[in-house]
Amino acid sequence: MSKLKIHPATDNGRIVHVTPENAGWTYVGFDLWKLKPGEVAKGGEAGREVCLVFIGGKGRVVAGAQDFGLIGERNSPFEGRPWSVYVPAGETWSVEAENNVTLAVCTAPGEGKLPARVIGPDALHQEMRGKGNNVRHVTNIIPEWEPAEGLLVVEVITPGGNTSSYPPHKHDQDNLPHESLLEETYYHRINPPQGFAFQRVYTDDRSLDEAMAVEDGDVTLVPKGYHPCATTHGYDLYYLNVMAGPKRTWKFHNAPEHQWLLKV
């Protein structure tokens, strides 16, 4: 298996645990929890802000001294917009599952400057990107114009047979205003779940060049380079992106040999 792909080995509790230390990078952390009714996920640490994204299910969320009550609505990431909760660095959090819950825990460096808040589905910005068989549907959970210290969090659904994160682009150079340095994780889901999709992560000099078949529930790491995805006919692809870097802005560089695709 590629060193950039994580396939969960279990289906209960914290089933994915990505830290800057085990990923070999500096900024992004990503955990995935699967909870049965009554089970609890907990976290929170100094120096790491958090975005809790309810991929599916409903749970009671407590952040610091604030009880936000039951959060969540959809049962699947293909069933509408998510509920999320922002938790500042240094504040503890817990989620007690009301039903079967799939919870993404997205983290990045922070100093605890912002208050905890619920990010409801009605407040989310949505857009369609691309055209033809490069169409994908984007839901911005924490885009750069919304408050956070380091996190950028977005959901994307790509219809079956389409490409996404395409034409290939990268954001691995701290060279603003042209390009920002952002590490990134992808959490993939497939509908129906027996399908698969593909992702390639590669650099111009091919010192990194990994092509991966991704299945329902896989997580991929993008430490640098271009990172396009392609779905297969009949199977829609969902992914949750978490990005962070030294500056909180998304400025990408398209692969020059594929730039012509933007003109057709």
pLDDT in tens, 21-42: 999 999 999 999 999 999 999 9
Residue 71 in any domain: the answer is yes
Read off the pLDDT of each residue in 104-110 and give the average, rounded to a whole number: 98
- The pTM of the full predicted model, rounded to 2 decimals, is 0.97
At residue 9, the pLDDT reads 87
pLDDT above 70 coverage of the chain, percent: 100
* Tens digits of residue pLDDT in 143-163: 999 999 999 999 999 999 999
Does residue 2 fall inside a structural domain?
A: no
pLDDT tens column, 229-249: 999 999 999 999 999 999 999
Residue 4 lies in a domain: no
In a domain, 57, yes or no: yes
CATH number, position 219? 2.60.120.10
How many domains is the chain built from?
Answer: 1
**Is residue 158 in some structural domain?**
yes
Q: In whole numbers, what is the pLDDT of the chain averaged over residues? A: 97
Give the pLDDT of residue 3: 92
150 burial level (CB within 10 Å; 0-12, 13-18, 19+) = buried
Domain-located, residue 92? yes
pLDDT over 80 at 20, yes or no = yes
Does 131 fall in a domain? Answer: yes
Which domain does 117 fall in, by range? 9-263
- Could you tell me if residue 38 is inside a domain? yes
